[in-house]
């Protein structure tokens, strides 16, 4: 009985191969063909998503780049499983390519765990800090490819987040 559990556990764990995180030295090229790339500079440092475990038949981790377009709202989420950071963005009233702003708050009737629609969050050592879109700061999204049929969204953005507990920290 214990041997069967041990063998199953070994096989399950051996199928979850971990990747090594490498700090990127340049932002990824803007792709318009659905490569699921993402990059940003946070306070001058390059940040890219990273998936700690390789996907295989035994273990399928959450995607590190995720997007959804529904009811004219584009929602994007990216994570870095090595640095315990994530970014979630929402853009309302998206009709095609053009210039937009990230939503700051969910509508009042939304059932969400937070009132903030676009956030940057980091959780080193289990201590999470949430940064929200600054009300009076830069907030611009330029969509250069918008293809909801192929689910390809490409563009650039500039946004300032501030610590929701300490707004002076940006």
Question: Which of 89, 85, 43, 47 lies closest to 66 in space, CA to CA?
Answer: 89
- At 86-100, the pLDDT tens digits run 999 999 999 999 999
Top-confidence residue, 101 or 80: 101
Tell how strand 85-91 and strand 73-80 pair up: antiparallel
Which structure tokens are listed for 51? Answer: 């998936």
- At 92-136, the pLDDT tens digits run 999 999 999 999 987 666 555 667 889 999 998 888 999 999 999
Tell me if 133 sits within 8 A of 118, measured CB to CB: yes
Query: pLDDT exceeding 90 applies to what percent of the chain?
Result: 41
């Amino acid at each position: 009985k214990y041997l069967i559990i041990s063998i199953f556990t070994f096989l399950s764990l051996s199928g979850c191969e971990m990747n090594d995180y490498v700090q990127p030295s340049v932002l990824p090229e803007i792709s318009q063909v659905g490569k699921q790339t993402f990059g940003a500079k946070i306070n001058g440092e390059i940040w890219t998503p990273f998936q700690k475990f390789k996907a295989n038949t035994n273990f399928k981790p959450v995607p590190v780049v995720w997007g959804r377009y529904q009811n004219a709202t584009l929602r994007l989420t990216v994570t870095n499983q090595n640095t315990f950071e994530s970014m979630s963005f929402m853009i309302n009233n998206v009709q095609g390519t053009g210039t937009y702003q990230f939503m700051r708050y969910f509508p009042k009737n939304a059932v969400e765990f937070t009132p903030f629609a676009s956030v940057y969050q980091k959780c080193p050592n289990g201590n999470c800090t949430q940064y929200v879109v600054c009300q009076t700061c830069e907030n611009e999204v330029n969509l250069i490819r918008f293809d909801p049929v192929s689910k390809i969204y490409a563009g650039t953005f500039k946004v300032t987040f501030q610590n929701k507990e300490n707004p002076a920290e940006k």
